[in-house]
Amino acid sequence: QVQLQESGPGMVKPSETLSLTCSVSGYSISTGYFWGWIRQPPGKGLEWIGGAYQSGAMLYNPSLKSRLTISLRTSRNQFSLELSSVTAADTAIYYCARLGGGSLGSWAGPWGPGILVTVSS
């Protein structure tokens, strides 16, 4: 059974870089699928961030692309998210997930439990 778990700081200062890691168990991320991130501001809807494939292919939300890096660390069976120059608008629950649906990585499942990241000084 595939399981994912997010980790990282729960608070980041404005203008700094948000960094999160997702640890995967029960499946080798080098086998296949995109692996990515979705976020949800408290009390609001879902926003797709993007994903990465073991071949090096990337899918990034264009609205975040200039600030975004998603990387796979296959030796640790982990992948990461870095979002630079954060503002209060980046405050959200961040979920990591396996992304299916072929080259568009359009569906997500399973998901990690999520981690709340607050951007505040």
Partner 1 sequence: QAVLTQSLSASGTPGQRVTISCSGSSSNIGNYTVNWYQQLPGAAPKLVIHTDNQRPSGVPDRLSGSKSGTSASLAISGLRSEDEADYYCSTWDDSLNAVVFGGGTKLAVL
- Residues contributing to the site for partner 1 (CB under 8 A): 38, 45-48, 61-63, 95, 100-101, 104-114
Closest CB 80 distance from partner 1, rounded Å: 19
Closest CB 121 distance from partner 1, rounded Å: 28
Closest CB 13 distance from partner 1, rounded Å: 26
Nearer to partner 1, 10 or 109 (CB): 109
Nearer to partner 1, 40 or 54 (CB): 40
Q: Distance (Å, rounded) from C-alpha 116 to C-alpha 98?
A: 19
Asked whether the beta carbons of 97 and 109 are under 8 A apart, the reply is yes
Who's near 63: CB < 8 A, 6+ residues apart? Answer: none
Nearer to partner 1, 16 or 93 (CB): 93
